[in-house]
Structure 1
Amino acid sequence: MTTASRLGSPATKPAAKTAAIERKTDDERRHENSVGWGMLLPACLLLLLFIGIPVLIAFGLAFTNARTISPNPTRLIGFSNFTRLFSDPTFWFALRNVAVFALVVVPVQAGLGLFLAVLINKQVRSSVFFRTIYFLPVITSMVVVSLLWMFIYQNDGMLNQVLGKITFGHWQAVDWLNNPRTAMAAIIVMSIWQAVGQHMLIWLSGLQTIPGELYEAAELDGCSTWQQFKNVTWPCLRSTRNMILITITIAALSLFTQINVMTQGGPRDTTTTVVFEAVRSGFQQQEMGYASAITLVFFLIIMLITGIQRRLIRDR
C-alpha cells in the first residue's frame, strides 16, 4: 500500500469535510426550526383558544336563535338574524357613527402624532420629558381616562368653567355628553387626546431611522425645512405611515370602551357604535345569536375597509 493510499486521496478530504459541514449545518437548521416552533407554540395555542375558537363559535351562533339564558333549546334559523340586522335602524345609526368617528380620528390623530414626533425629534434636553408627558395618557386605563373626562364634560366641569372664565361669564354651560349635537364630538376629542402619544412614538421611531446624510444633502442643495420634509422625511416614512393608518383605522372602527363608560350609546343613539350594539344585544338583551350576526357583519366590513386601504397605500 502506497503512502498516498494510506493517507487518502487529496481530493477526497475536502469533499468529506464539506459533507460534514453540510450535515452539521442541516442539523443546526433543524434544531433552530424546532426551537423556533417551540417558542411559537404557546402563542399559537393562545390565539387559537381566545381568538380562533370564539370566532368559529360566533360564526355558528349567527345562524341560530341562541340566547344567554333560555329554557328553549337553540335551533337554526338561517339568515333571519341578518334580515333583522339590515332592517334595524339602530345598526345603521351605529355604522354611521363609527364612520364619522373614523373619518375624523384617523387623519387628525395621525397628523397630530406626526407633528409632535417632528417637534420632539430634535435633540434637546427636554425631549425625553415631553415624550413621557405625551405618552402618559396611553398607559393610563381607558376606563380611568373616560371617567376623568366625564367630570371635565359635566355642566359644572372644568371645561365649562374655563370657557366661562375666558368669556368673562358669557358662556352658557353645556352638558357635552348629554347633548346630541356635542356628544360624539366630545368622544372624538377625548379619544384623540388619549391615543395620540402612542402614534407619536411610532412616528418618532420611523423618523430616527432616516439617515442624517439625506438631510445634509438636502441642505447643501438649498432645500427649505418644508422641502426637506416633503422630499426626504415623508417618503422615508412610507412603511411607518402605512402601519399607523391601518392600526388607527381598526382601533377607530372598534370604538367601545369610551361609549360604554361615558354615554351608553346616548343621547338618542348619537354615540352608539357597532361593537357597543353587539355587546348590548348579547349581554344585556341576551340575544347571543343576533349579537353574533352583528359581529360577523362588522368583521367583514373591517376586512373590506382594511383591504381597500392596503391596496391604496401599497408600495408602487
Structure 2
Amino acid sequence: MTVTPPTVAAETPQRATRRFRTTKGRETWAGLAMMAPAGILLVLFLIIPVILAFTLSFTNARLISPNPPRFVGFDNFVRAFTNDPVFLQSAWNTFLFALVVVPVQAGLGLLLAVLVNRRMRGVTAFRVIFFIPVVTSIVVVSILWRFLYQPNGLINSMIDTITFGAWSGMDWLNNPQTALGAIIVLSIWQAVGFHMIIWLAGLQTIPEELYEAAKMDGAGPWRQFVSVTWPGLRPTMVFVLVTITISALALFVQIDVMTQGGPTGSTSTIVFYAVRKGYEQQEIGYAAAISLIFFVAVLIIALVQRRLTRDKD
C-alpha cells in the first residue's frame, strides 16, 4: 500500500500579490530611511534658504529691526542697477576676474598636465608640488600672499634685486590699478593644480593606440595634440570650464582677507558686496536681491557655456 504525500496548496494570486506588495513596501521604506538624512540636510541648507532669499528679495527686511519687513516689489532690483554704483562696480570686477581667470587657468592647467603626463624621473614630485596650494587653506594662502604683496614684501624685494634698484615696486593691494590683478595672480596660482589633475585624468583616458596610429601617419607633436589629444579631452574641457567659471564668479575669501573690497571698491565682487550689505550693514532684503541677481547671472552663463561647448553630433 503506497502513501501519497500531502500536496502543498498552490499559492493563490491574491497571496502572491500581497507578498509582493509587502516586500516592495519594505524596500521602499528602507530606501526612504537611507535617503532621509541627506534629504533633510538638502531641505534645511539649500531649498529653505533659496525660498527665503527669493521671498526676502522683494522686501525691505533688515537683520535687526523693530519694524516688520514690508513688501517693496522690485525696488531692490531697480536700486541695484540704477542707484548703486558700488554694485555695478562689483559686477564689473566679478566678470572681469572671471574673463581673465577662466582661460588662463584652464590653459595653464592643460599645459602643466601635458608636461607632467610624460614618463620621466621625478614626475610624481612635480605633480605633488603643483597640487600643494590646492590642499592648503585659501585663507592661509591669502594671508601669505598679502605679506608678499606688502611694500617691503618679497615680491618688491625680488623686483628691486632684478632691476638693480631701478624700480622698487609698489603697494600692490592699495593701488586701484593693481589690486585686482594681484588677486587674479594669486587665484590662478592657488587653483591651477586642481585643474591640472583634472586635465591629467582626461589625458590618461585617451588610448595610446591613437597616438601610435598618428605617428605612423607622420603626425608631429602639434598635429597629434590637435587631432588626438584635444578631441579626446572634450568632456574634460566642459567640466573644467564650468567649474572654473562658477568658482571665479563666486570670488569672496581672497577679497575678504586681503582687501575688504578696496581700495575705492576696485576689488569688490558681487558675493562680497552681498555679504557686506547683509551682515555688516544689515540690509538683508537688498542682499537677498543681489544674491538672486547673482544666481540668475551664473545660471545664464553656465547654460550659454554649456551650449557653446556641447557636442555637435
Instruction: State whether structure 2 residue 78 is matched by structure 1 residue 83.
Output: yes
Q: Which moved more, 1:279-288 or 1:76-85?
A: 76-85
The correspondence for 1:71, drawn from 59, 62, 66, is 66
In the alignment, residue 170 of structure 1 is paired with which amino acid? A
**2:157–2:168 CA contact under 8 A, matched in 1:** no
Residue 294 of structure 1 corresponds to 290
Residue 172 of structure 1 corresponds to 168
SS of alignment partner, residue 59 of structure 2? coil
Instruction: State whether structure 2 residue 292 is matched by structure 1 residue 309.
Output: no
Change (3 A) 1:204 1:30: farther
Q: CA deviation at 1:90?
A: 0.8
Q: Separation in 2 of the partners of 1:75 and 1:284? A: 21
Question: How does 1:219-238 map onto structure 2 within 5 Å?
Answer: 219-238=215-234
Residue 248 of structure 1 corresponds to 244
Q: CA deviation at 1:34?
A: 7.0
Instruction: State whether structure 2 residue 177 is matched by structure 1 residue 181.
Output: yes
Instruction: State whether structure 2 residue 159 is matched by structure 1 residue 163.
Output: yes
Q: Separation in 2 of the partners of 1:135 and 1:56? A: 38
SS of alignment partner, residue 43 of structure 1? helix
Gaps of 5+ in 2: 1-20
Q: Separation in 1 of the partners of 2:224 and 2:241? A: 22
Change (3 A) 1:40 1:136: farther
Q: Separation in 2 of the partners of 1:238 and 1:291? A: 38
Please identify runs of 4+ aligned residues in structure 1 that moved more than 3 A.
26-41
For residues 137-180 of structure 1, the C-alpha deviation after alignment (integer angstroms, 9 at most, x for no partner) is: 01111110000000000000000000100011111230000001
Gaps of 5+ in 1: 1-25
Residue 61 of structure 1 corresponds to 56
Q: CA deviation at 1:241?
A: 0.3
Q: CA deviation at 1:44?
A: 2.9
Q: How many aligned residue pairs are there?
A: 295
Instruction: State whether structure 2 residue 143 is matched by structure 1 residue 147.
Output: yes
For residues 115-142 of structure 1, the C-alpha deviation after alignment (integer angstroms, 9 at most, x for no partner) is: 0000011122312111111111011111
RMSD, aligned CA: 2.2
Instruction: State whether structure 2 residue 207 is matched by structure 1 residue 211.
Output: yes
Instruction: State whether structure 2 residue 144 is matched by structure 1 residue 129.
Output: no
Q: Separation in 1 of the partners of 2:142 and 2:63? A: 29
TM-score (norm 1): 0.88
The correspondence for 1:105, drawn from 91, 101, 107, is 101
Q: Separation in 1 of the partners of 2:152 and 2:200? A: 38
In the alignment, residue 267 of structure 2 is paired with which amino acid? T
Q: Separation in 1 of the partners of 2:28 and 2:120? A: 45
Change (3 A) 1:34 1:134: farther
TM-score (norm 2): 0.89
Q: Percent identity?
A: 59
SS of alignment partner, residue 265 of structure 1? coil
Change (3 A) 1:93 1:167: same
Residue 18 of structure 1 corresponds to none
In the alignment, residue 67 of structure 1 is paired with which amino acid? R
The correspondence for 1:269, drawn from 251, 265, 268, is 265
Change (3 A) 1:138 1:39: farther
Q: Which moved more, 1:150-159 or 1:26-35?
A: 26-35
In the alignment, residue 61 of structure 1 is paired with which amino acid? L
Q: CA deviation at 1:78?
A: 1.3
SS of alignment partner, residue 63 of structure 2? coil
Q: Separation in 2 of the partners of 1:106 and 1:44? A: 33
For residues 284-313 of structure 1, the C-alpha deviation after alignment (integer angstroms, 9 at most, x for no partner) is: 000000000000011111111111111111
In the alignment, residue 66 of structure 1 is paired with which amino acid? A
Instruction: State whether structure 2 residue 112 is matched by structure 1 residue 116.
Output: yes
SS of alignment partner, residue 43 of structure 2? helix
In the alignment, residue 215 of structure 1 is paired with which amino acid? Y
**2:238–2:309 CA contact under 8 A, matched in 1:** yes
